[in-house]
Structure 1
């Protein structure tokens, strides 16, 4: 496959942070590529709430200005370091990075790149890595899921929640979703969700117990937080494991130690990006496993909404208006696939 020999590439650059960040589409030189690095020419880059917060100067990562946003992308490998062996020029890949993906070229460590199936469109692959790796880390690394267990997932219409529900089912679990939109979850996730419970803090405990025959959930993956989290502890089975992934509904209630003690419940936190730097081999192995599941049809990633590079403001608005939808920025206008 023919690869690019361009020396200048387009890039979305943030020159000033704030509620209305100063953003321009510029032309920049190709970055350099080290011996254990891979240069990718993205065709599409995901837009996440973390990217929006970073552009506004409200995220924990604050790059030096100007910077290029974008934490994940998919495209073609255009250069590899001399010690890289698992990908080569011309490969179709996804790539993950703290920022820098919304450009015509991005350089990442070799462990942050994985080949995608031929059937996987670049736009879809661009939204895959972070959500599905986070779900994988929650279930495998923190909860140590076992086949036959009951897994409860909150926020199942969002990226990580949807991924956790699909993965838990692929790993042999029975899946219970807790959602404010019961009918939408039943309709959209019918292939991987066995039961859906209303996300009502007053009734959720009894409803989870009802659909699990009084057992409760062996594993809880919570991305919501707020008042719901404390109630979910009471809906957890004996020797259950609760993994806290996020606080979409705000700061969670304090957990009561007595509830944890009487049922031997374990509580774990997850900051999935720590694995990128602390244990990158785990990231690479997980991506290989996850993409193999995509290849056999065990995981189904929703089609994202696509926006050209020079319409990032419109894309941000679309993301904020429909938080359950994936949004991608197309690096080359009109190129969402090949």
Structure 2
């Protein structure tokens, strides 16, 4: 079934199974579809029969994907977390290797940042607090990590690394002299060393927690100006257990050019570390900063990955520049 073909009867059953529609039924549904690289989404406008509860949601957000990891998160992982920064899931279904997830449409009360414009310091502080609040709950939780070892998203950047490694030669050819010999050498060294670094960190278990896995600033939903409420994170398909600073470096380092990073990067990392400590985590500042620098190395994989998917140059080209500059400015080569 395609997302644009959903019928009121099917949506009724999904809402009933999720406990959202104890009586009545969906009378009509309007579907506004859009596509993403690994999923299809739609905003739904819903009308109900007269015997439906007055509280039944009329604005919904439906997501279909062939990746089961997000369904696992909402069905099995989220219930184990305290006040998780995830949208309320109103219903879900797995059908012929396609997962369906139904959420509240939060566009009336929340918004995402303008695309490609990094957050202000104040917004960044909220996002860092949100991440730390998530990470502290599963910090070095070996039992939970083992429980979900085969059901999480991409463990230790596995798919990301394989895709990047396979595409790198073609990427170099395509860029010609736009990728200098120095930068090519950086990439070659990272591709040689990075998998072993990741596996060693996970096996050691130090600083490992449950990540969102795709927490760029534009996956955060912020309360609209003048409205109270908490931040939410969308798109949990890449959740996994790994170094907590992977989330932090993806959020803080990759979206920012050097001038903005110089003004607030270390302060934001320190804020994250302080929130962890306040939550009872024993983790020194020196460990946190070292782990963050190691995670900045991993950001180099993303521009090649996005290029390999056919993403527009407006996505991968500026991220390439920012990733390499951060790698150089934080002296990450000495960690390889």
Q: Which has the higher strand share?
A: 1
Same fold judged by TM-score > 0.5?
no
TM-score, length basis structure 2: 0.26
TM-score, length basis structure 1: 0.26
